[in-house]
């Protein structure tokens, strides 16, 4: 069954001529059609995908191929895609069609991937459960009454249910890693500056990064290879050589030191999550890594610090949605001010409004020093904590999220408890460093558990290698939800 294969395996099947891209795309489109209750996609482009597949098959026949030619992919609906709707999960952009492609979309199209659709997400990437989406929540394929995580929940659902072999996501505070953990996948948030943000609708510009949501470290490496690299159109993208991620997978783990921050193994962590994390760490020891206790003393300040900085940046970024230039505009209004007010009142959902209000407040004269400047100082202290920790270890490990996927509706009326599900992921964004989540087991109700590994800036090869070596020794990443196997 082709849908059960990893991206790497499908690439080999296409290469050997065992299947055509058109057949492959049709297989996945059929699965998407049968799994609409998961609400993984906002847009599916059957016709476009089949046309791209035909052209990929022609290129293959003419010998013009790369590793990704003809392989299906889905993009989070935060990436602008020419000719296809880009909604960002919001009513504000419900009918928006971008005139250009995001760099990530363009690069993946250049390598020959076939874009089958755009995935569901929390509105403007604000959320941890995909429940703030204007298009309704995505459902976790491991248990449909559970959330998929967020904000890249649709991408995680699509890969977990094998509606596509791989998808893109973005991560501002955990939005790749937490849904990857909740859905049993491998999700990598690269270092800040590694992947271009051009054409990726901005949430919090100093924190946002795009990355792969995949079945395995090997697939994540393949996808990151195509996504990463300098882009003159993004002033924060770094002009630094992109290493060969696939060949880095084979490097040994023996001799490396993995630090376990005591703050990541506290009482907030579910017993099953703690247990699976320790079992995974024991596996790393078997592979030759050494474990050592460390401390990230200011971790607890991560959430409050993030919830000043991210809303502040968001309030500025979202000021462009004013009903004048593009996107939603209210139907009737008397004057310009009323047009602005009604457009934004009707176009944004409650969580987005909450962020805009907090951000505007934190940036306002008189409060700027008390909140925004203070948060920036704490951000620096958190980055310094990591720097200090990396003097004692090569990587840092802990649970990706304190719990497994929670129930739909469980946290929607309690924003702070929702925010806390990112407690272990958020600090890597504040420090700009890379982190990966890998599946390491299941709780007693059959929901996946993720382990997070964090590295130093631009050490994506090291993280992918650790994940790959672990996945060579275990098979958690090969499990499929029973309705989709």
Segment lying near ligand GLN (by CB under 6 A), choices 123-131, 256-264, 285-293, 378-386: 123-131
Among 114, 156, 308, 310, binds ligand GLN (CB under 6 A): 310
Q: For residue 151, is the peptide bond before it cis, meaning its omega torsion is within 30 degrees of 0? A: yes
The C-alpha atoms of residue 188 and residue 179 are separated, in whole angstroms, by 11
Which residues, 6+ apart, have CB-to-CB distance to 88 below 8 Å? 77, 78, 121, 123, 124, 125, 201
Please tell me which residue in 20, 21, 76, 128 is annotated as part of the active site: 76
Nearer to ligand GLN, 166 or 200 (CB): 200
Q: Regarding beta strands 395-399 and 41-44, do their DSSP bridges make them parallel or antiparallel, or are they unpaired? A: unpaired
Which parts of 27-56 interact with ligand GLN (CB under 6 A)? none
Please tell me which residue in 175, 191, 315, 421 is annotated as part of the active site: 175
Among 29, 71, 74, 125, binds ligand GLN (CB under 6 A): 125
**Alpha-carbon distance values, 385 to 60, 85, 301, 430 (Å):** 50, 42, 12, 11
Using rule CB under 6 A, residue 172 touches ligand GLN: yes
Report the b/e string of 181-190 with b at 16+ CB within 10 A: bbbbbbbbbb
CB–CB of 185/166 below 8 Å? no
Among 41, 142, 203, 470, binds ligand GLN (CB under 6 A): 203
Nearer to ligand GLN, 174 or 229 (CB): 174
- What count of Cα atoms within 13 Å lies in the side-chain half-sphere of residue 159? 35
Q: Establish whether 76 is a catalytic residue.
A: yes
Cβ atoms within 10 Å, residue 375: 21
Using rule CB under 6 A, residue 212 touches ligand GLN: no
Nearer to ligand GLN, 127 or 450 (CB): 127
Among 171, 385, 459, 460, binds ligand GLN (CB under 6 A): 171
- What count of Cα atoms within 13 Å lies in the side-chain half-sphere of residue 307? 19
Segment lying near ligand GLN (by CB under 6 A), choices 121-129, 225-233, 270-278, 378-386: 121-129
Site string for ligand GLN, 336-375 (x = CB under 6 A): ----------------------------------------
CB–CB of 94/123 below 8 Å? no
Using rule CB under 6 A, residue 401 touches ligand GLN: no
The C-alpha atoms of residue 437 and residue 452 are separated, in whole angstroms, by 4
To ligand GLN, the closest distance from the beta carbon of 431 in angstroms equals 14
The C-alpha atoms of residue 271 and residue 234 are separated, in whole angstroms, by 43
Q: Regarding beta strands 41-44 and 114-119, do their DSSP bridges make them parallel or antiparallel, or are they unpaired? A: antiparallel
Q: Establish whether 216 is a catalytic residue.
A: no
Rg of the chain's alpha carbons, rounded to an integer?
Answer: 21
Which parts of 151-170 interact with ligand GLN (CB under 6 A)? 151
Nearer to ligand GLN, 11 or 172 (CB): 172
Q: Which helix (H) or strand (E) holds 266?
A: none
To ligand GLN, the closest distance from the beta carbon of 129 in angstroms equals 9
Using rule CB under 6 A, residue 456 touches ligand GLN: no
Nearer to ligand GLN, 200 or 273 (CB): 200
Using rule CB under 6 A, residue 422 touches ligand GLN: yes
The C-alpha atoms of residue 150 and residue 133 are separated, in whole angstroms, by 10
Using rule CB under 6 A, residue 439 touches ligand GLN: no
Nearer to ligand GLN, 32 or 362 (CB): 362
Among 87, 119, 120, 175, binds ligand GLN (CB under 6 A): 175
**Phi and psi dihedrals of 441, rounded to 5?**
150, -170
Using rule CB under 6 A, residue 173 touches ligand GLN: yes
**Alpha-carbon distance values, 387 to 49, 84, 460 (Å):** 45, 42, 17
To ligand GLN, the closest distance from the beta carbon of 354 in angstroms equals 10
CB–CB of 343/330 below 8 Å? yes
Nearer to ligand GLN, 113 or 170 (CB): 170
Please tell me which residue in 8, 35, 151, 216 is annotated as part of the active site: 151
User: What does the binding site for ligand GLN look like in residue numbers (CB under 6 A)?
Assistant: 125-128, 151, 171-175, 203, 310, 422
| Active site members | 76, 151, 175
């Amino acid at each position: 069954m082709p849908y059960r294969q990893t991206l790497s395996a499908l690439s080999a099947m296409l290469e050997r001529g065992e299947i055509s891209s058109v057949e492959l795309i049709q297989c996945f489109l059929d699965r998407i059609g049968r799994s609409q209750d998961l609400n993984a996609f906002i847009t599916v482009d059957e016709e476009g995908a089949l046309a791209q597949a035909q052209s990929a098959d022609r290129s293959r026949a003419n010998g013009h191929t790369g590793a990704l030619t003809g392989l299906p992919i889905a993009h989070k609906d935060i990436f602008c895609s020419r000719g296809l709707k880009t909604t960002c999960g919001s009513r504000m952009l419900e009918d928006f069609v971008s005139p250009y492609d995001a760099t990530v979309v363009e690069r993946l199209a250049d390598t020959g991937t076939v874009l089958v659709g755009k995935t569901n997400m929390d509105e403007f990437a604000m959320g941890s459960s995909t429940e703030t989406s204007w298009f309704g929540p995505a459902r976790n394929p491991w248990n449909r009454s559970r959330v998929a995580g967020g904000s890249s929940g649709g991408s995680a659902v699509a890969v977990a249910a094998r509606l596509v072999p791989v998808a893109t996501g973005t991560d501002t505070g955990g939005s790749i890693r937490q849904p990857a953990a909740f859905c049993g996948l491998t999700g990598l948030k690269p270092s800040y500056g590694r992947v271009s943000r051009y054409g990726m609708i901005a949430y919090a510009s100093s924190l946002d990064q795009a990355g792969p949501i995949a079945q395995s470290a090997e697939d994540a490496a393949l996808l990151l290879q195509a996504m990463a690299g300098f882009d003159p159109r993004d002033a924060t993208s770094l002009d630094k050589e992109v290493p060969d991620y696939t060949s880095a997978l084979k490097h040994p783990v023996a001799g490396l030191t993995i630090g376990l921050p005591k703050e990541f193994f506290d009482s907030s962590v579910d017993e099953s999550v703690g247990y699976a994390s320790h079992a995974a760490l024991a596996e790393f020891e078997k592979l030759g890594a050494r474990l050592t206790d460390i401390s990230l003393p200011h971790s607890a300040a991560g959430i409050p610090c993030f919830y000043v900085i991210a809303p502040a940046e968001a309030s500025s970024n979202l000021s462009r949605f004013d009903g004048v230039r593009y996107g939603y505009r209210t139907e009737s209004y008397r004057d310009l001010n009323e047009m602005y007010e009604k457009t934004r009142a009707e176009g944004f959902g409650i969580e987005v409004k909450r962020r805009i209000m907090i951000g505007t407040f934190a940036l306002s004269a008189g409060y700027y020093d008390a909140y925004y400047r203070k948060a920036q100082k704490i951000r620096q202290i958190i980055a310094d904590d990591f720097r200090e920790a990396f003097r004692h270890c090569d990587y840092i490990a802990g649970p990706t999220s304190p719990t497994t996927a929670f129930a739909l509706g469980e946290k929607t009326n309690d924003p702070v408890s929702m925010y806390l599900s990112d407690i272990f992921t958020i600090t890597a964004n504040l420090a700009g460093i890379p982190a990966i989540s890998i599946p390491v087991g299941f709780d007693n109700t059959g929901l996946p558990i993720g382990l997070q590994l964090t590295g130093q800036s631009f050490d994506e090869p090291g993280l992918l290698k650790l994940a790959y070596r672990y996945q060579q020794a275990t098979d958690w990443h090969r499990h499929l939800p029973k309705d989709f196997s």
